[in-house]
Structure 1
């Protein structure tokens, strides 16, 4: 107790010393009053070791001297320091000797207390350092496991009847905690039978990890789960650790999917090579047979012409096949470039129809064409766009039973231009719809005769993406037809530049209702006269405001509009015309003195179909006025233009 007190700070020791000394003196005074004893001063000796330990030898010596003086005062004669009797002197001497001994003992005890204090302080310091080292080691352990980003667990066994019946979550890092729907603090201490990541099988965990809790060893295996993110794969590496099990759960889903993709690509490659061999043998067989026929003597002219047609037809088929393969190679290498030009969308449609005509007519399909409601020109690679649209028509014809219906439609709005090919053929199953644009994928691989190489749609998709657009597909399901759509950005639309003037034979022009708008009265009247001589019905106004008023009660098919009008400009008039439902589909022709590229961009944005600079070539103007409107193929005819 004294050793412990000696380690107190000075303030606490001082308070304790004063309190203990006061208590002893009070007890001594009480005894003196009660018995008037001369030896009660000896009680002071009880505090000598304590005072010496607390404050040093000087305090013990001072207290001893005070005790001697106090004792002398209470001996005969009372109140005097002179002690006359021999017995009293002997008592004082004994007190002095014993007191000196107690002071010396207290000094030694103080030394022991200081050494014990230093030892205890060193022990506490070592314990704190050890605790700090343990905390730092645990912190480094947590940081290392959390920074790994791989789920890590420590599991301890729950033994029943000498057998590991369950496993308990003992520790998990941050990556592991994210696999649970609950906080880590809730998971730790629970059983794998009741708390585990979504989709995990507790029986698999117990079967593979329980043996490691019973004996030293390690194991590695893959676990397949079906969680919120779909199918996932984890590679588990586990080992024994003092009766527990430590395990890493690495997410190998990307690797497994890559392996599956490689396997699928390898399978498609094999199918592609088999299909390629089939597609090449098809034209090679008749070519070889025709070569043998041409070697025969007495070959008739009719038979020779037939052989030539077969050779041309089959060699053309091989050329198309090779062209597709070369296009795919160029796109893959980034070597394919588009040759863009201003082209009429209707011309692209006509070229695509010509590409698909043989198979459409051969299978007696009904082809319905719905061109845009008004002339539409775009900046695109005419050949490639017609190639894609022709491929969609050909596919529709291939996968539609004979006598089916195919519809080709075009529409345009402020957001995009859409070309769609819809059929009532075999359709596409929902689970296969997302894969049809993949390389070597076939819509119907069970029918190699119609299946092709499986690169047509992938090639078409890439060509449309090079145009800044997208190719989409939809189907209601098997045997319910399908629809493929080309989506082009509205920005690719332009106002058509005039075609080069050429001599053309006079033909009868269809009568049109035309509105001429020009603030130059002579120019407007002269143009009106020319158009009336062509047989058209013409109304003429000389300002934008008049044009808007006339359109309230007059419905023209064509509007010839000057741009530099006073007040409301031609651009503003055009926008009003396109915004009005009754006039939004009229053919809108700009006639202006402005002919720079930026001027044509402005007219295209305003909705003009054609852009002519003054003076206008009459032949070109007639071609624009004669632009065909939407038509539907009549029953029994192969196509509509």
Structure 2
């Protein structure tokens, strides 16, 4: 209390001193009433040092003065200030001297008390500042760790018999608290063997973190967790800190999933390349063998016709493989566009059945169609939708044992148009059902036996999505068949356009024979095309470079020029431009025969003056129609 009062202001202390002086004088008056004389200064003298100490030297001096006056009034003559008795004068003087000394002593003690009070106040302020700094630091610590969004914790080891017996949670930030099914207040102070994040292995935590508590250092490791939300991965970085362990738990699940996806994609890519090599070798083998047969002497006409059929079938199979690859590439780059138009649903189904018929008949399957009784017309790309349906029918045929049952049904009711292909084949395992539409994925892992690149379903899915629909698959399990369904939005259903009836030509457009120039740097391809055209009765000349083509036009006047684009030196584009600049050849029909079939390639040939654009391998029937139609139009 003395130290606290010493910190009061001078005015406040003086007021308190006057109040205390009044109380002392009243008490002294009461004492003197009963025992006056030598006891006149007893209470005042005893109070002098305390009043001076508490309320300052001014209050002490005032009490001293009041005491002298009070004593004078009670000495002879009583009631008057002058003191006549010698002994009373000595007592009064002695009181004055001793009282002065007491006031001086009290003043010194007051200074000491004031300094002590200042020191105490300074210590209190320092303690308050330290507490505030610590509180602010802890707040910043919490804010920083909580805002990081990465689980962070501090664990304290419990040592028994000189060994770490267990680890206890000492601190959790907000992100770490979310890993527990219990509130953070419950977790803190508990052992890792009793409370830990859901799905975490207590032994893994203890085995990896306990050595840090005793030996110090740093450790980093990955933890796989099986929780309610599936598999998760955490990267744990832990270090020793003054006998405790600090640890960060970074959720690396997206990174691990991305790595697994890349690994799976790389594996599927390798499988795809192996399958592609296999599928390309399949048609190449009979083509090569047929070529060797045709080289033999004495080949009969029947054997030659058989060889021709084999070449056509196998080259068509290779062309389909390449078409699928190109379609996937176009869709991936967003370069494939649909050519929509009103078409009868039955016509699309007929196109698909016709494409898949060889496979269906080859395995002796029964195909049952269930189509709407009334005509239904839809606004779609007829070629692409038929391609998808044919792919699904072919897949059903491949994965159904011989003599199986395959059904194709169509429903055009609200709210969508549904085309379903069902079979009683080998079915699809539940764990692979969700992945069959992925690129390079196959229903049957034994793809070398079934054939195919594993891109058909992925391509079909993309084509249907371009139409604004979706494709789904379902199966009851192994050997229980499967069902693939194409869902098209109801707005695809349209009214048919009026049919324009045209007269059929009385005779074939290709009955007239023409002078033709073939230009291709691939000698085999050029000679083979020349031989085919000669069999049609045309007069054909052949050259193998752009420069030769320009030179021969100076003395040979063809009616049609079949021109390859990728010629060495002078390209086919340059040759076509030269032809169009020359008056004698500017009206010649120029047809591109090339391996380049992208839309931009067709645009280049059109700008260069080509009349038609065919991609290799060219269909001879279509080529003859193009040749004949050019002259029919003239």
- The verdict on a shared fold, with TM-score over 0.5 as the criterion, is yes
Give the conservation status (yes or no) of the 8 Å contact 2:170–2:188: yes
- CA–CA distance in structure 2, aligned partners of residues 349 and 9 of structure 1: 106
Structure 1, 97-106 or 332-341: larger mean CA deviation: 97-106
Deviation for aligned residue 1:37: 3.1
The DSSP-based 3-state class of the residue aligned with 1:422 is: strand
- CA–CA distance in structure 2, aligned partners of residues 367 and 70 of structure 1: 136
Give the conservation status (yes or no) of the 8 Å contact 2:13–2:56: no
Deviation for aligned residue 1:180: 0.6
Structure 2 partner of 1:73: 73
Distance 1:163 1:19, change over 3 A: farther
- CA–CA distance in structure 2, aligned partners of residues 18 and 378 of structure 1: 111
Structure 2 partner of 1:29: 29
Q: Structure 2 matches for 1:622-637, cutoff 5 A?
A: none
- CA–CA distance in structure 1, aligned partners of residues 383 and 247 of structure 2: 60
- CA–CA distance in structure 2, aligned partners of residues 402 and 277 of structure 1: 27
Deviation for aligned residue 1:38: 3.4
- CA–CA distance in structure 2, aligned partners of residues 348 and 439 of structure 1: 25
Distance 1:127 1:36, change over 3 A: same
In the superposition, the TM-score normalised over structure 2's length comes to 0.77
Distance 1:59 1:17, change over 3 A: closer
Structure 1 partner of 2:200: 200
The DSSP-based 3-state class of the residue aligned with 1:485 is: strand
Deviation for aligned residue 1:18: 6.2
Structure 2 partner of 1:442: 442
Deviation for aligned residue 1:493: 1.5
Structure 2 partner of 1:493: 493
Deviation for aligned residue 1:28: 2.5
The DSSP-based 3-state class of the residue aligned with 2:483 is: strand
- CA–CA distance in structure 2, aligned partners of residues 56 and 8 of structure 1: 11
Structure 2 partner of 1:95: 95
Deviation for aligned residue 1:19: 6.5
Deviation for aligned residue 1:392: 0.3
The DSSP-based 3-state class of the residue aligned with 1:312 is: helix
Structure 2 partner of 1:43: 43
- CA–CA distance in structure 2, aligned partners of residues 110 and 130 of structure 1: 29
Q: Structure 2 matches for 1:178-257, cutoff 5 A?
A: 178-257=178-257
Structure 1 partner of 2:346: 346
- CA–CA distance in structure 2, aligned partners of residues 352 and 165 of structure 1: 72
Give the conservation status (yes or no) of the 8 Å contact 2:16–2:55: no
Structure 2 partner of 1:298: 298
Structure 2 partner of 1:365: 365
Deviation for aligned residue 1:357: 0.3
Give the conservation status (yes or no) of the 8 Å contact 1:324–1:456: yes
Structure 2 partner of 1:276: 276
Give the conservation status (yes or no) of the 8 Å contact 1:366–1:403: yes
Distance 1:63 1:474, change over 3 A: same
Give the conservation status (yes or no) of the 8 Å contact 2:238–2:245: yes
Structure 2 partner of 1:605: none
Structure 1, 329-338 or 99-108: larger mean CA deviation: 99-108
Structure 2 partner of 1:266: 266
Q: Structure 2 matches for 1:363-512, cutoff 5 A?
A: 363-502=363-502
Give the conservation status (yes or no) of the 8 Å contact 2:18–2:59: no
The DSSP-based 3-state class of the residue aligned with 2:41 is: helix
The DSSP-based 3-state class of the residue aligned with 2:250 is: strand
Structure 1 partner of 2:151: 151
Distance 1:462 1:183, change over 3 A: same
Deviation for aligned residue 1:192: 0.7
Distance 1:94 1:60, change over 3 A: same
Give the conservation status (yes or no) of the 8 Å contact 1:193–1:202: yes
1:490-527 C-alpha deviation (Å, 9 max, x unpaired): 112111111113569xxxxxxxxxxxxxxxxxxxxxxx
Structure 1 partner of 2:108: 108
Structure 2 partner of 1:285: 285
Give the conservation status (yes or no) of the 8 Å contact 2:283–2:317: yes
1:379-415 C-alpha deviation (Å, 9 max, x unpaired): 1111111000100000000000011100100002221
1:320-358 C-alpha deviation (Å, 9 max, x unpaired): 001001111111111111111111111111101011100
- CA–CA distance in structure 1, aligned partners of residues 185 and 203 of structure 2: 23
- CA–CA distance in structure 2, aligned partners of residues 18 and 111 of structure 1: 20
Structure 2 partner of 1:123: 123
1:450-469 C-alpha deviation (Å, 9 max, x unpaired): 14111000000011111111
Give the conservation status (yes or no) of the 8 Å contact 1:424–1:482: yes
1:177-219 C-alpha deviation (Å, 9 max, x unpaired): 1101111111111111111111011111111111111121111
Matched, 1:59 2:59: yes
- CA–CA distance in structure 1, aligned partners of residues 279 and 167 of structure 2: 60
- CA–CA distance in structure 2, aligned partners of residues 321 and 139 of structure 1: 66
Give the conservation status (yes or no) of the 8 Å contact 1:53–1:110: yes
The DSSP-based 3-state class of the residue aligned with 1:316 is: helix
Distance 1:451 1:292, change over 3 A: closer
In the superposition, the TM-score normalised over structure 1's length comes to 0.76
1:274-332 C-alpha deviation (Å, 9 max, x unpaired): 11111011100000000011111122111111111000000000000010011111111
Alpha-carbon RMSD across the aligned residues, in angstroms, is: 1.9
Structure 1 partner of 2:541: none
- CA–CA distance in structure 2, aligned partners of residues 11 and 394 of structure 1: 109
1:119-157 C-alpha deviation (Å, 9 max, x unpaired): 222222222222222122112211221121111110001
Residue ranges of structure 2 left out of the alignment (5+ in a row): 505-634
Structure 2 partner of 1:85: 85
Deviation for aligned residue 1:97: 1.3
- CA–CA distance in structure 2, aligned partners of residues 200 and 258 of structure 1: 22
Structure 2 partner of 1:330: 330
Structure 1, 80-89 or 124-133: larger mean CA deviation: 124-133
The DSSP-based 3-state class of the residue aligned with 2:480 is: coil
The DSSP-based 3-state class of the residue aligned with 2:108 is: helix
Distance 1:12 1:422, change over 3 A: farther
Give the conservation status (yes or no) of the 8 Å contact 1:359–1:397: yes
- CA–CA distance in structure 2, aligned partners of residues 437 and 35 of structure 1: 118
The DSSP-based 3-state class of the residue aligned with 2:158 is: strand
Deviation for aligned residue 1:8: 4.4
- CA–CA distance in structure 2, aligned partners of residues 469 and 502 of structure 1: 35
- CA–CA distance in structure 2, aligned partners of residues 406 and 214 of structure 1: 70
- CA–CA distance in structure 2, aligned partners of residues 9 and 497 of structure 1: 106
Give the conservation status (yes or no) of the 8 Å contact 1:48–1:102: yes
- CA–CA distance in structure 1, aligned partners of residues 374 and 98 of structure 2: 130
Size of the aligned set, in residue pairs, is 504
Structure 2 partner of 1:309: 309
1:405-444 C-alpha deviation (Å, 9 max, x unpaired): 0010000222111001000000000000000001110100
Structure 1, 446-455 or 332-341: larger mean CA deviation: 446-455
The DSSP-based 3-state class of the residue aligned with 2:449 is: helix
The DSSP-based 3-state class of the residue aligned with 2:181 is: coil
Structure 1, 53-62 or 272-281: larger mean CA deviation: 53-62
